[in-house]
Structure 1
């Protein structure tokens, strides 16, 4: 066992020694070095150059520190302080009075922006020249006095401008309030003032406040840019404010100039569309008035056709002018357009259905304004046939409004087209038992019609037996009324019903409809000799009366 233990111990020792040697010989990958941090060379509150790369093992911080020390040493010599550049194979040197300050290498510039070592070095030299000039101005009492006087004058002008804006604010607010109140007081409808001046006055005050504050901010911006530009140490800040203002004004002007051709095209398209609409409108107006006759267009369909034509023309003009509108190609404008289209397509489905139904009713000519119709359970005069709804007036103080889709899905009876000319067809129904001769019922209903005013003699009223029910006969009196107004139509029907009741009472015929619970003792039949009781006239008597 001891020999076995010694052998196992030797093998473990050999194994651990191999692992240790392998760990010693294994090399780990070196970590990637981080990009060096950029460092700025700042002098007299101006950034002369930004070092972005290491050079000869020196990081950007050391390069910026060394450049600053060389610049201070060059200034200590009290030379002419003339910046310059000198290109070499490694880059471009920036120098002061022939002394090297720093080197612009290709690693310090951005070639994608079109920069070169020469252009960046020249820009740095120009910035250094401005900084040196401002440094000399800071040491000049004469320049500082002049700058202080200019700043004081600018501050005084700034104060006067603010005071003037305050006075203008009061004057404009007072005059605008008086003008709006006076003008809105003249807007009347039937001697009643329809507009409240206080809402418009409050809006005008807010608008004037916004304008005055905008002018104040603009004056403050200009004053601050001027003052900072006159102080040598802060001149770079003033130049930034001035450059920003110039960039904003230039951008706005450039945007306006670039949008002008598109706006001109939009105006031309709108003018052409307006001209086409006016030309077509004159034709439609003549058709509506009856001066012009067109086979496919009449007075009833001229109005909806004109509206459809105008909508089509404006939609076509909008589609043509859309690409030329300012901002039409931006993502925000396109997103809003898609959102509006989605909202209209989802929310206007019922409106589109109602409008389509209205167009079908107009072009089918099933209804016209002023006609007397019956739609479903509603009966009256058509007051308006619109795009989305139809309105009826019953003559009983009611005005019924019905959606066009509902009108189109129901049966419409038009009583104004039964006879040429004015007026309408009038009918009423009574149910009389079989024990009353039908000839007598016909005669009594016709007599009631002749007694009613506003019922025309031509065409002559007539009676139809429209049903033979289990207990009674259904009689319908059809006549023609000559009135037009809805109220008079209701009165004519009322008078007709009154005369029917009176006539039946005069001849002893009851209008109540009988209902039987058992068979009668004798059949309800009428002998032939009783077929023509008064006021009915037998055919032989009628022929005898007609003989001369």
Structure 2
């Protein structure tokens, strides 16, 4: 047994001496190549390291010796001093050059005023004391690395920590499976219970997916912490890697303290921002109640009617939230950081470059809305397209044509063209129906007027009051131009194209009945026979005759 322990001690001693050699070897950053010239803007610096632990950073010359040479000479003296027998007691001694750091009364290196870190607001004595503590820890680690009992104890602690870490890993996996199954079952059962008016507020599959993702995230975070602490503990058991363990623990502690301080520091500002947003929400609720009363007719204002109440409410709410965001912005966590400022500049640049057309569309929509050019339900002609207005948006307007089509027209194109409103000039509800015909000068104009009015009165959906009117809009070279204008309010909503088609059909029937031919617009001379359809031939096969048409007589 003693022979095995002796062999293990020899192996560990060899590893320890290898670590000693690695710690004692000059680092590339500490000993730059002689051919490499130092930057003229700053004096070269060099850090003295022993057993992977930084002892002091030399920042200036001493007696004509540069900082890298000072670090190299101090490392050689330190190695020689530790090779000698003795208690290896570290002490400090004031001197005209600075503070001498000594081992057993022999100087190892000198801490000069150049080594004082002004950014940390430390003094020369504080810098020397810090170097003394680092040297004492490094010497203790070097002694520990050559102690068989300490190495065996470290191996035992590492093995125990590994077993505990594996047990925790296995336990967390089992706990994740059990808790995850129960939470998924509960979320699937209760997701469908969140209903308002028979409508499910959340989707069951989405709730299950969100719960599964949250459980997996918590498990991975806990597993990461277990692995992190295991690695830090194991590294801290061995002298050469103890400084890495201290760095890991320090980083985690600094991160936790920094995050905690940031959260605590952000609470007052976050509370102020929440108060601002809450007041904005109360104000928007008040605006909703006010505009609802305007829509219901409880409030009557000269500058606000029901037609523009809805867009005005939207604009007012947007302005309220924009003002609230501007007021709460300085209190939001991270608002003063450079990243937040850069993101704000980027978003503003994207909006300014890519949203010019969008802003133009919105401005056109506001002009059309508040100019009351047309309203929802009116029959209009927009951008050479006719139809009933079904939706008025901030960026586009939708109309439905008589052919069953729904057209979306941008507000900028509407504002750039001429808009015809067939519903605005009528008495009451409805819209204007008009058509144009051209008849030769040989037909009395009074007869043409009477026939057009008769055709209008035969059309279903054309009102008798106000009565249809006929206007002679032009006296062309070959014929006058007659325009029939009437008002249509169907009992049931019918597309204007259907009413206009029926009106055109009745015009043809009436003109054929009275033997008046429609030869325009290519009229040159009277034909040999009149171009009219006798009533007996109004409905050849397979068409069915109208109710008021005369019956066909057999030969």
Task: State the TM-score, normalizing by the size of structure 1.
Answer: 0.76
Find out whether 1:317 has 2:324 as its counterpart: yes
The answer on whether the counterparts of 1:51 and 1:64 sit within 8 Å (CA) in structure 2 is no
Instruction: Find the counterpart in structure 1 of residue 270 from structure 2.
Output: 263
Find out whether 1:499 has 2:510 as its counterpart: no
Partners of 1:404 and 1:56 in 2: CA distance? 82
Matched ranges for 1:419-458 at <5 A: 419-458=426-465
Instruction: Find the counterpart in structure 2 of residue 23 from structure 1.
Output: none
Matched ranges for 1:355-366 at <5 A: 355-366=362-373
Q: Which of 219, 222, 233 pairs up with 2:226?
A: 219
Matched ranges for 1:324-335 at <5 A: 324-335=331-342
Partners of 2:44 and 2:392 in 1: CA distance? 81
Q: Which of 118, 128, 137 pairs up with 2:125?
A: 118
Q: Which of 161, 172, 178 pairs up with 2:168?
A: 161
Partners of 2:102 and 2:265 in 1: CA distance? 44
Question: Compared with structure 1, are the counterparts of its residues 437 and 37 closer, same or farther at alpha carbon in structure 2 (3 Å cutoff)?
Answer: closer
Partners of 1:374 and 1:302 in 2: CA distance? 24
Question: Compared with structure 1, are the counterparts of its residues 341 and 56 closer, same or farther at alpha carbon in structure 2 (3 Å cutoff)?
Answer: closer
Q: Which of 496, 516, 532 pairs up with 1:489?
A: 496
The answer on whether the counterparts of 1:358 and 1:389 sit within 8 Å (CA) in structure 2 is yes
Question: Compared with structure 1, are the counterparts of its residues 84 and 462 closer, same or farther at alpha carbon in structure 2 (3 Å cutoff)?
Answer: same
Q: Which of 76, 86, 95 pairs up with 1:65?
A: 76
Q: Which of 330, 348, 351 pairs up with 1:344?
A: 351
SS at match of 1:436: coil
Matched ranges for 1:25-40 at <5 A: 38=46, 40=48
Partners of 2:45 and 2:424 in 1: CA distance? 95
Partners of 1:219 and 1:280 in 2: CA distance? 53
Partners of 1:416 and 1:229 in 2: CA distance? 87
Instruction: Find the counterpart in structure 2 of residue 25 from structure 1.
Output: none
SS at match of 1:396: coil
Partners of 1:488 and 1:182 in 2: CA distance? 50
Instruction: Find the counterpart in structure 1 of residue 279 from structure 2.
Output: 272
Instruction: Find the counterpart in structure 2 of residue 372 from structure 1.
Output: 379
- In our comparison, the structure showing a higher alpha carbon Rg is 1
Question: Compared with structure 1, are the counterparts of its residues 475 and 196 closer, same or farther at alpha carbon in structure 2 (3 Å cutoff)?
Answer: same
Aligned length: 484
Question: Compared with structure 1, are the counterparts of its residues 135 and 63 closer, same or farther at alpha carbon in structure 2 (3 Å cutoff)?
Answer: closer
Partners of 1:107 and 1:151 in 2: CA distance? 42
The answer on whether the counterparts of 1:395 and 1:486 sit within 8 Å (CA) in structure 2 is no
Find out whether 1:480 has 2:491 as its counterpart: no
Find out whether 1:407 has 2:418 as its counterpart: no
Matched ranges for 1:141-290 at <5 A: 147-168=154-175, 170=177, 212-290=219-297
SS at match of 1:487: coil
Structure 1 position 293, deviation (Å): 1.1
Identify the range of structure 1 (113-122 vs 481-490) with the bigger mean alpha-carbon deviation. 481-490
Question: Compared with structure 1, are the counterparts of its residues 402 and 45 closer, same or farther at alpha carbon in structure 2 (3 Å cutoff)?
Answer: closer
Instruction: Find the counterpart in structure 1 of residue 545 from structure 2.
Output: none
Deviations 1:273-328 (A, max 9, x none): 22222211221222223222111111111111112212222222222223333333
Question: Compared with structure 1, are the counterparts of its residues 54 and 495 closer, same or farther at alpha carbon in structure 2 (3 Å cutoff)?
Answer: closer
Find out whether 1:470 has 2:481 as its counterpart: no
The answer on whether the counterparts of 2:45 and 2:57 sit within 8 Å (CA) in structure 1 is no
Partners of 2:426 and 2:58 in 1: CA distance? 101
Question: Compared with structure 1, are the counterparts of its residues 476 and 294 closer, same or farther at alpha carbon in structure 2 (3 Å cutoff)?
Answer: same
Find out whether 1:297 has 2:308 as its counterpart: no
Instruction: Find the counterpart in structure 1 of residue 86 from structure 2.
Output: 77
Unaligned runs of 5+ in 1: 1-32, 521-548
Identify the range of structure 1 (87-96 vs 460-469) with the bigger mean alpha-carbon deviation. 87-96
The answer on whether the counterparts of 1:41 and 1:68 sit within 8 Å (CA) in structure 2 is no
Instruction: Find the counterpart in structure 2 of residue 11 from structure 1.
Output: none
Task: State the TM-score, normalizing by the size of structure 2.
Answer: 0.75
Partners of 1:488 and 1:37 in 2: CA distance? 88
Structure 1 position 181, deviation (Å): 8.0
Partners of 1:480 and 1:36 in 2: CA distance? 96
Instruction: Find the counterpart in structure 2 of residue 92 from structure 1.
Output: 99
Question: RMSD value over aligned CA atoms?
Answer: 3.9
Question: Compared with structure 1, are the counterparts of its residues 56 and 407 closer, same or farther at alpha carbon in structure 2 (3 Å cutoff)?
Answer: closer
Partners of 2:146 and 2:160 in 1: CA distance? 22
The answer on whether the counterparts of 1:82 and 1:96 sit within 8 Å (CA) in structure 2 is yes
Partners of 1:458 and 1:39 in 2: CA distance? 103
Partners of 2:479 and 2:295 in 1: CA distance? 51
Partners of 2:190 and 2:246 in 1: CA distance? 48
SS at match of 1:464: strand
SS at match of 1:264: helix
SS at match of 1:402: strand
Unaligned runs of 5+ in 2: 1-36, 528-555
Deviations 1:76-95 (A, max 9, x none): 234xx654333344322334
Question: Compared with structure 1, are the counterparts of its residues 68 and 104 closer, same or farther at alpha carbon in structure 2 (3 Å cutoff)?
Answer: farther
Partners of 2:308 and 2:131 in 1: CA distance? 78
Partners of 1:402 and 1:297 in 2: CA distance? 26
The answer on whether the counterparts of 1:158 and 1:220 sit within 8 Å (CA) in structure 2 is yes
The answer on whether the counterparts of 2:361 and 2:395 sit within 8 Å (CA) in structure 1 is yes
